[in-house]
Amino acid sequence: MDVDEDEEDALFGADDLHLEDLNIEDSGVVINVDQELDDIEDEEDEFEEEEEIEPVDEDTRYFYHDEDGWLPAKRSAQPAPSSTQSSQQKQPNVIPEDVPVAPDAGEAGRRTLEANLREPTYSVRYGGFAGAPIPAPVDAMPKEKIKHGFTMYGPPPGEPDDNIYAPFASRTNWLFARWAKMRGPGSTAMTELLRIPLVKEKLGLSYSNANELNRIIDTRLHGRAPRFKRAKVEMAGESFDLYFRDILECVRALYGNPDFARYLVFQPEKVYSEANNERLYHDMYTGTWWWATQRELEKEKPGATIIPLIISSDKAQVTTFGNKSAYPVYLTIGNLPKEIRRKPSRQGQMLLAYLPTTHLNHIPNKAARRRIVLNIFHKCLRTITEPLKAAGLDGMPIASGDGVWRRGHPIYAVHVGDYPEQANVVGCKHGECPQCDASKLELGVLGSYSLRDLEAILDAHAKYETDPAGFAKACREAGVKAVIHPFWEHLPYCNIFQSIMPDILHQILQGMLKHLVVWIKTVYSTAELDARCKALPRNSHVRHFFHGISPLSCVTGKEHNDVARILLGLIIDLRLPNGMSSARLLKATRAMLDFLFLSQYPVQSDGTLQRLENALTVFHDNKQIFIDLGIRKDFNFPKLHSFSHYVPNIKWKGSADNFDTAYAERLHIDLTKDAYQASNHRDELPQMTRWVEHKEKILHFAEYIAWREGGSRPFATYKPPIFPTTRIKLPKTPSRYNVQWPDIESLYGAAYIKDAIARYIAKWNSSNAIPAQIEAAALDIHFPVDGLPVYHRVGFWLGHSQQHPLSSNEYDSIVVKPKRIDTLKRIVPARFDTALINGGDSTRISIEGEPTI
C-alpha cells in the first residue's frame, strides 16, 4: 500500500455494501487495528525519490528453524551448493507404478530457451525426489474431472451433453453473450439493444436483458478461479472492506490450468551454454534461490514441488479526472515460463484482491495517518497470505492440468512493485534501500552492502507482544518502521529482503534514464537537441520525434526506451560550457545506456552480468561531471543505488524481465480500470469483483467451447512445442495482394524482377547447370500471372552460429514503404531499408513456411 507523503490522502474508501445482492461471499473475518498505534513514535524522514531494489548473495541464503517454523536464516555464510556435490542429484525420481507420468514439461522450457539462444545448452537438474509425482488422493476427482468449475472434458455440472453450448441455447446465444461481456457496451446499452423489436427474436436469444444474462453466468457457468470474499478492517470507529480470494485456491487454479500443463517446471536446474560453459539465467527455476530452498525442503519433506508465488501490488488511478483509485493485488506462480506470465491473453496472472483505499481525513496528524495506513496494509496482506504458513511447510496435494498429482509447497518468493510499494512491504523508511543496510549518505557510492539483518528485525517486531513500551524504539534501532506483525513475519522459507527484485520500468526507464535526459537538457540547449532530433533521417526501427524531446510530457516507459536509442547520437559532438571536456559526460551517458539495454536481456550469462557490472562501474567513475556542471549535489537516491543489486538478484531468481512492473501496469487495464468503468461508480468494489468473475468465467467457457469444437483433449494429444529454426520469417498475410508487374518495377524499384525470378526458377530446376544454360532456360520461362503479392516487412535473425543472441534486439526486420498519398492528399516519400545479403552458393536461407532455398 502506497503511503508516500505525496499520496497519503488518497487512501481507503468504500461505501456500505450490499453483499446479498452481489453474490459475494462474506468470510466473516474482522481485522482490528490496535489503537495503541496512536502512541507509537514515528521518526520517519520523507524523501521524494521513488522506486528501489535489492541485493542478494547466493552463498548466504539459508534457513533456520524455531518454534514458529522454518524462517530465513541470519546472514551467516555457508558453502553454496555445488552443481555436482549432492547425492540427491544423482538418484532418479522414484515414482509409484500407479502414478500417471506427465510429459516432460521441463523439456518444453529447455526447447524454448534453445530456440532463443540458437545454440545447444545443458543443464544440471536438482534430481532426487524433487518434483516427483504422488498417487492421487483418495477423495480426488478422476483425471477427466477438474476441481475448479466444470472440466474442459465435460459439460458444466447439470447441463446436457448433447448441446456443447449449454447453458446457452445455441451457438448464436453463446457468441452474443461473449461479445456482450468481452467487447460489448455496458449493461444498460445491451438491454436497450435487446428491447429493439425483433432483435431478440431474430438472434434467437434466450435472455432479454443484461440481468438475465448475468444470472445465467452466475448460476450456471463455473470458472477455475475461486469466488471473492470480504473481510472487514475496523479502525478509529470506521470499517473498510477488503475483497480477496483464497490464495491456495488461486494457486490451484493457475497450477491446474490444462493449457499450462506442458510448460510447468517442477524442479530447479542450473543451465549452461555448451559453447563456453557459462551459467545462464532466465526463468526462476534457473536461479540459485529455488535450488537452495529445494535443498532445505528436501531435508524435512523429500519429494517437494516448490510453487514460487509472485505477488504484485500497485495503486491504480481509475478515473481520467479526479482522484478515484483502486488497489489491486495480482498473483502468478514461478513454475510458469515468463513468456506466459507476461501476456495477459494467456491468463497467467490472477486478480487476488482489492485492498481498501480511503483519505482518512478524520485523522488530522499526517504521521499518524501514514502509520495506520501502513499497518492496515500489512493486516490485509496477512489475512490474504495466512494459509501459506501451513501449506508452505507441510505441502498440499495439487494436480497439474494433465491430471498428475504432486505435493506442492506454495512459498512467497517475490513482491513486485515500485519503490514506495517496496518500502511499505519491507517496512523501511522512504529514502532508504529496502534490501540492504546502506545508509542514505551511502546510496550514491558504488559498494557492496549486506542484507538487512532479518533476525534482528524479527526480534524488534516481536517486542510488540512482550514489551509494547519499547516496541517503537526497538524497531527504530533495527532500521524499520513500527509495524504490528508484518504479513511476512511467519511465512516459511521467506526472507522479505530477498523478495524485492529489479524493476526495469520504474528504476531504469522511468527512473535513471528520465533523470539522465533531464540532466542533459539542463547542460545543452533544448533548441539544439530538438533540432537534431528533427534532422535525424527517417528509419523504420527508430522513432522519429517530429517536435524533439523537450516538449514531451507524461512520458511512458516505451517513449523513454525510444529516446535512449538516439540519446548518445544527439550529444556526441556537442561542447560543454566553459570549454570543459565532454569525455566524462559521454562515458557516463553511454555507460547508463549500456546498463539499460544489458539489464533487459531475457537470458543472462556470467559474461553479460560482468558487462552489466562494468557499465555501472564506468558510470560511477564518471558521474562527477554532473556535480562539476552544477546539475547535482550528490547521488544519494535509491534508484541509482538499486542498480548495485541487479547482478546478485538476477543470479538469485532469474533475469530482470521476470519481475517488471510493466506487467502489473498492463493488468490494471483489464482487471481494474475496465472493471471500474463497468460499474455505476458507487459501491464499485463489489461490482468490480463481480465483473472480473464474469469475465473469467466467459474466458474459461470459451476454452471449453474451443476444445469441444476442436475435438481433442489438450494433454491427451500432447506434443512438445515445435520452435522455428529458420532465419527468415514472413508475416501470415501479404501487405498487398496481386501488385501488377509495372507497379513492382516503378513503386518498389525492382526493375528486373521478372528476369531475376526467371533465373532463380531455372537454377532451381537445374542446380548443376552452368550460367549460360541458366540464362538460356530463363528465356523460356513465362509467367501465367499479372502480378505478385508483396510483403512490406520480413523478419530475420541476426545471430551468429557460434554466439547466442541474449537480447530480443538480435531479431530484426527489413521494412519497405513505397511512395504513397495519405488521407490528407499529401505525398509520403518512399523509405527502403538497406540490407546486405550473402548470396553465395554455400549459403542456404530457410524461410518459415517455405522450402529451403
For 521-574, how does the pLDDT look when each residue is reduced to its tens digit (9 = 90+)? 999 999 999 999 999 887 777 888 989 999 988 899 999 999 999 999 999 999
> In degrees rounded to 5, what are phi and psi of residue 331?
-135, 140
User: pLDDT tens for residues 732-754?
Assistant: 899 999 999 999 999 998 888 99
Number of continuous H segments (helices) and E segments (strands) in the chain: 28, 24
How far from 637 is each of 47, 480, 493, 507, CA to CA, in Å?
9, 18, 30, 11
- Which helix or strand (DSSP H or E) is residue 694 part of? helix 684-710
Q: Are 561 and 539 in contact (CB under 8 A)?
A: no
Position 30 pLDDT exceeds 70: no
Summarize pLDDT for 649-705 with one digit per residue, the tens: 999 999 999 999 999 999 999 999 999 998 988 889 999 999 999 999 999 899 888
Report the alpha-carbon distance of residue 359 to residue 3 in Å, rounded: 11
User: Which residue is listed with cell 480426488?
Assistant: 140
Residue with cell 545447444: 120
Whether the upstream peptide bond of residue 167 has omega within 30° of 0, thus cis, is yes
State residue 300's pLDDT score. 87
Residue 736, number of CB atoms within 10 A of its CB = 15
What per-residue confidence (pLDDT) applies to 119?
59
Q: Is the pLDDT of residue 104 over 70?
A: no
Highest mean pLDDT among 49-58, 102-111, 316-325: 316-325
DSSP for residue 546:
T
Q: Is the pLDDT of residue 847 over 60?
A: no
The Cα 453–Cα 426 span in angstroms is: 12
> Taking Cα atoms as reference points, which of 711, 700, 691, 693 lies closest to residue 149?
700
What are 111's three cell numbers?
526447447
Q: Considering the entire predicted model, what is its pTM?
A: 0.81
Task: Identify the residue whose cell numbers are 498475410.
Answer: 733
Q: E strands along 347-505, which residues? A: 350-355, 396-399, 405-416
Give per-residue pLDDT as tens, 165-222: 989 999 999 999 999 998 877 888 999 999 999 999 999 999 999 999 999 999 998 8
Pairing mode, strands 325-333 and 269-273 = unpaired
Task: Give the rounded distance of the alpha carbon of 312 from its chain centre.
Answer: 9
SS3 79: coil
pLDDT for the residue 358: 79
Instruction: For residue 374, give the C-alpha cell.
Output: 501502513
How far, in whole angstroms, is CA 576 from its chain's centroid?
Answer: 41
- 597 residue type, one letter: F
DSSP percent split of the chain into helix, strand, coil, nearest 5: 40, 15, 45
d(CA 755, CA 753): 6
Q: What is the DSSP track for 501-545?
A: ---IIIIIIIIIHHHHHHHHHHHS-HHHHHHHHHHSPP-SSS---
State what percent of residues in the chain have pLDDT above 90.
54
For residue 47, CA distances in Å to 8, 27, 636, 805 come to 13, 38, 11, 40
Cα separation values, 696 from 347, 351, 433, 677, 692, Å: 9, 10, 38, 17, 6
For residue range 73-98, what is the model confidence (pLDDT) as tens digits? Answer: 333 333 333 333 333 333 333 333 34
